[in-house]
């Protein structure tokens, strides 16, 4: 070996130990070496994919003076303390729960629960014929409650929520209907009055926390105030060993119509996770025995994992959306622009089964549409001199839940709470409809 080559070899032999002792931050990680564990953030995100977010929104009407007095005497109180005080007002009949909406969702997905009456009212009148102006065209206003939100679960465990709860009420007519003696007269033009409450906001809250979304006065009664409360929880689905490993999925929806008091009592003492599991369903089954509750729709359908399935159980109702008047007061109106509305149940599912993990992720939409009579917008004289309905519109009531959840096989899970219609087609604030989802695979 040449001397120069020998010197070079000795130099490199001396430098190699120094290279091996370079600080760790100077070494670039090998992208082809597989990690044994995920970073903390990635692990949290993986956990979030197996978490359900449970949300309960309440609209409560209270005395404005009582609410202001409590705020003045408790300036540092948190929202949960306020909700506890409001519960005492409810028990003392000093406050009332106007609506309670519940929906279960997956992090990062939009969810919606709706309970509304479709109120159809005239927007234009025909004055070309004899007599008074005549209702010709109509529009629809949803009256009731809607709860829509986008929620995400942070690695720290907090829940970020963008939501827009809404309540719309029919506030009579304008000008006010005068007190008339005798039969209803034709051609009396009135315009409906609608009142709405709609806080639109984004908040961050800890799991299980109760927050006041907003408060506003009641236009119909300045001495009263409306409070929107939101309670949210992150809940891991209960693991189950019942999975058969099959890609076939059986899905069942159960609806229970129960008193509002039953739900209020459980909300006061139970977590949302407990209610979504067995607690509330046991109460609903007990209400069937004592006669305070009723069993609603029960829908069952089968499909394959990854395949969308839809189930319809309905009938079609046709009605006119426009009218032209008859030649005189004794001739009936002529219906035009016939519309078709589906009455009944519609359920749509998109399940994805993880047989190894024993869970199923399901995107679903559940609609229940009922018809509660008709509203009269014009009358005519019959051949016996009586005023009879001439132009009428159907009263439709819609309950809808659209969301996504993770469930275990064979375990009923509460996915939503809506408000059913009363006898007159408006929201029955003293009743609630509980919707449970059960999946077998």
pLDDT per residue as tens digits for the range 219-250: 889 899 999 999 999 999 877 666 566 788 99
**17 lies in some domain:** no
Q: For the residues 7-19, what does the mean pLDDT come to?
A: 43
pTM of the model: 0.82
Reply yes or no on whether the pLDDT at 126 is more than 80.
Answer: no
**How confident is the model over 293-304, as pLDDT tens digits?**
999 989 999 999
- Is residue 2 included in any domain, yes or no? no
The count of domains in the chain is 1
The whole-angstrom separation of Cα 94 and Cα 294 is 29
What's the farthest any 2 CA atoms get from each other in the chain? 132
Structural domain range at position 248: 42-179+186-440
Q: Which of 46-55, 124-133, 381-390 has the lowest mean pLDDT?
A: 124-133
Residue 145 lies in a domain: yes
For the chain, the first-to-last Cα distance in angstroms comes to: 75
In a domain, 153, yes or no: yes
297-326: burial string, b at 16+ Cβ within 10 Å, e else: eebeeebebeeebebeeeeeeebbebbebe
Residue range 161-182, pLDDT digits in tens: 999 999 999 988 776 555 555 5
Report if residue 24 sits inside a domain.
no
Rg value, the chain, Cα? 30
Q: Cβ(256)–Cβ(82) under 8 Å?
A: no
Nearest to 122, CA basis, from 391, 424, 371, 329 = 391
CA distances from 197 to 143, 164, 216, 237 (A): 11, 10, 8, 34
Name the average pLDDT for the chain: 83
In a domain, 393, yes or no: yes
CB atoms within 10 A of CB 32: 5
Question: How many Å apart are CA 86 and CA 83, to the nearest integer?
Answer: 5
């Amino acid at each position: 070996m040449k001397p120069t080559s020998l010197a070079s070899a000795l130099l490199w032999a001396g430098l190699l130990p120094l290279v091996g002792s370079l600080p760790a931050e100077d070494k670039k990680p090998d992208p082809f070496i597989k990690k044994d564990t995920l970073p903390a953030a990635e692990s949290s995100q993986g956990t979030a994919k197996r978490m359900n977010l449970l949300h309960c929104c309440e609209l409560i009407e209270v005395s404005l003076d009582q609410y202001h007095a409590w705020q003045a005497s408790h300036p540092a109180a948190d929202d949960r303390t306020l909700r506890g005080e409001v519960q005492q007002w409810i028990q003392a009949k000093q406050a009332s729960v106007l609506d309670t909406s519940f929906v279960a969702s997956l992090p990062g997905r939009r969810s919606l629960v709706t309970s509304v009456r479709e109120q159809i009212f005239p927007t234009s009148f025909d004055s070309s014929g004899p007599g008074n102006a005549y209702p010709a065209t109509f529009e629809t206003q949803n009256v009731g409650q809607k709860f829509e939100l986008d929620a995400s679960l942070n690695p720290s465990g907090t829940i970020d929520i963008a939501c827009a709860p809404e309540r719309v009420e029919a506030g009579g007519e304008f000008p006010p209907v005068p007190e008339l003696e005798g039969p209803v007269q034709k051609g009396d033009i009135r315009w409906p009055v609608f009142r709405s409450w709609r806080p639109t906001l984004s908040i961050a809250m800890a799991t299980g926390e109760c927050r006041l979304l907003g408060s506003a006065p009641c236009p119909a009664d300045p001495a009263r105030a409306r409070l929107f409360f939101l309670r949210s929880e992150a809940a891991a689905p209960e693991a189950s060993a019942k999975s058969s490993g099959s890609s076939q999925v059986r899905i069942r929806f159960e609806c229970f119509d129960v008193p509002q008091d039953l739900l209020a009592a459980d909300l006061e003492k139970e977590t949302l996770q407990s209610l979504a599991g067995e607690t509330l369903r046991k109460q609903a089954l007990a209400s069937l025995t004592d006669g305070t509750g009723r069993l609603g729709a029960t829908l069952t359908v089968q499909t394959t994992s990854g395949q969308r399935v839809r189930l319809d159980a309905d009938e079609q109702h046709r009605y006119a959306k426009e009218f032209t008047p008859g030649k005189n007061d004794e001739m009936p109106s002529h219906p035009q622009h016939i519309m078709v509305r589906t009455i009944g149940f519609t359920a749509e599912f998109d399940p994805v089964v993880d047989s190894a993990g024993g869970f199923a992720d399901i995107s679903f939409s559940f609609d229940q549409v009922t018809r509660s009579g008709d509203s009269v917008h014009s009358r005519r004289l019959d051949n016996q001199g009586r005023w009879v309905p001439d132009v009428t519109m159907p009263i439709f009531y819609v309950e809808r839940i659209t969301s996504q959840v993770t469930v275990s096989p064979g375990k009923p899970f509460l996915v939503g709470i809506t408000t059913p219609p009363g006898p007159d087609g408006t929201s029955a604030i003293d009743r609630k409809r509980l919707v449970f989802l059960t999946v077998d695979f």
